[in-house]
Amino acid sequence: MSKDEKFEFDIANLKQDLAIENMIVTDEDVALLQRYYNQEITMNEMINIIKESVV
C-alpha cells in the first residue's frame, strides 16, 4: 500500500469514527491533515491554523 493510499484509508477510518460521535470531517480538515502527514507543516503549525480558523 502506498503512502497516499494509506493516508486515504486512515482518513476514511477517521471519518467513520468521528461520524459515530456526530462529528464531521471537512475537505479542509483532510487537506490540513494531508499537509501534516506529508511533513509540510509541524504539529504546532497545524494547531495554530486550527486555532485561527475557529476565531
Q: Is the pLDDT of residue 7 over 90?
A: no
Tens of pLDDT, residue by residue over 11-43, are 788 888 888 889 888 889 889 988 998 999 999
pTM of the predicted structure, to 2 decimals: 0.67
Number of Cβ atoms within 10 Å of the Cβ of 40:
11
Could you tell me if 49 and 41 are in contact, meaning their C-beta atoms sit under 8 angstroms apart?
Answer: yes
